[in-house]
Amino acid sequence: MRVDEISNGSAVTSKADRKAQLAPLDASKLRITLTDALRVVPPPEEQVVGKSYTDHMLIVSYDPQTGWSDPEIKPYGPLSIDPACSVLQYGTSCFEGMKAYLGPDGKARLFRPDENMARLKRSAERLALPPFDEQEVLKLVKKLITVETRWIPALRGYSLYIRPTIIGTRPSIGVCASDHAILYVILSPTGPYFRTGSEGISLLALGDPVRSWPGGTGGHKVAPNYSPGFKSLEYAKELGYQQVLWLIGGKITEAGVMNFFAVLEREDGDLDVITPPLNGTILPGVTRASVIALAAAHPSRIILPGIPNTVCLHVHERELTMSNLTLWSAQGRLLEVFVSGTAAVVGGIGRIGFEGEDLLLHPYKDGRGPVARALFEYITDIQEGRTEWENWGVVCE
């Protein structure tokens, strides 16, 4: 018996009873309705994330009277949404970005999916969306992937992007938490995120508008973090940059929708790998955590390809400014700057525009410096099933 039951007596118990009677999200109740008109999978060169979607989607809804519905895999199609719904009026939505890869054994693999599920749960809680067992969601994601395995491109660097989404569907403009929800998962085949040449990715550093703030939602993967940045992205593109590098009070936070890293050469021959700390303004990226773990494991536990085993990578989570980068670059110490994210995995930065000047970084083949390239190769080896590491690759069976 919990403390609130002891202190508040039967009223609380009956509320708890009522909550206990609500149906939980239960993957074992999945119903599958397959389409009778399978689409042609587009050729690899047309596989850009968000351009096409697979034949089926997963959907399950929450009602405050009955709880979670039976999950359903059914043909991809539009949702019917009341115009007064919370998601349309108040941005009540959170999501995840994951990928399924085809291994050499022909099996579909996910990359650290427990991390995405845990973050999805935290994001839903941040927006006061209904609770669920995230392991049940993972079972459903795996099932959807097995139904759609033919959509995973059998090419290095290609994968099936997975977008689990939870939207608040309370059909009222009253400004309060949504007690109705729909959880759905859609899939989009995708190739390399940035098809850049040796020039790398270009960023425009902007301090106003700002993307997130201490006490805001920047540390959660929620819809309200994104549309407020569209105007800045359009502005960056007009000036010839690919993404925005978001600053707060001069401090670097994220690059577009990716985490940011700088690599410095040290006098002792080792390398410092520096990334902004998780202070609530930065998304705790799964790829970011993987980069940090793998960099720290070299050379004691793994050897990253192309990085000598005499070189240690010292990871620092600390504040970074554009002034830091400019100074280090002028001193010849800035080996490389890179970004990490599910879509891009690890991508090299070529230049950063800031206050009318471009900070030009070392040019490298495909834009990635030695550390970014080593991490990109090691992580994609795990993702695509060529290497095993701490059970990060999870087969869908």
Residue from 16, 22, 41, 88 touching its own copies (CB under 8 A): that is 88
Q: Which of 313, 214, 302, 217 is nearest to 264 (CA)?
A: 313
CB of residue 317 to its own copies, shortest distance in Å: 22
Residue from 43, 83, 332, 356 touching its own copies (CB under 8 A): that is 83
Residue type, 128: A
Give 321's strand partners. 251
Q: Which of 215, 155, 179 is nearest to 380 (CA)?
A: 155
Stretch 155-194 residues interacting with its own copies (CB under 8 A): 161, 163, 165, 167-168, 172-178, 184, 186, 188
Rounded (10°) angle between helices 370-383 and 286-297 = 110
Place of tokens 């106003």: 208
Using the 8-state DSSP alphabet, how is residue 173 labeled? -
Burial of 18 (0-12, 13-18, 19+ CB in 10 A): exposed
Residue type, 188: S
Distances (CA, A) of 78 to 48, 56, 162, 186: 21, 12, 17, 11
Q: State the binding string over 206-245 for its own copies (x if CB under 8 A, else -).
A: -xxxx--xxxxx----xxxxxxx-xx-xx-----------
CB of residue 148 to its own copies, shortest distance in Å: 15
Stretch that binds its own copies, among 80-88, 106-114, 302-310, 363-371 (CB under 8 A): 80-88
Positive or negative CA dihedral for 238, 241, 247, 251?
A: negative
Stretch that binds its own copies, among 23-31, 73-81, 286-294, 316-324 (CB under 8 A): 73-81
β-strand pairing of 159-168 with 181-190: antiparallel
* C-beta closer to its own copies: residue 181 or 361: 181
330: contact with its own copies by CB under 8 A: no
Residue from 100, 102, 257, 263 touching its own copies (CB under 8 A): that is 257
Residue from 47, 69, 92, 342 touching its own copies (CB under 8 A): that is 92
Stretch that binds its own copies, among 82-90, 262-270, 306-314, 332-340 (CB under 8 A): 82-90
125: contact with its own copies by CB under 8 A: yes
- The answer to whether 219 touches 280, Cβ cutoff 8 Å, is yes
339: contact with its own copies by CB under 8 A: no
CB of residue 267 to its own copies, shortest distance in Å: 38
Q: Which of 151, 19, 23 is nearest to 76 (CA)?
A: 151
Instruction: List interacting residues with its own copies (CB under 8 A).
Output: 48-51, 53, 57, 76, 78-84, 86-93, 95, 125-128, 161, 163, 165, 167-168, 172-178, 184, 186, 188, 207-210, 213-217, 222-228, 230-231, 233-234, 256-257
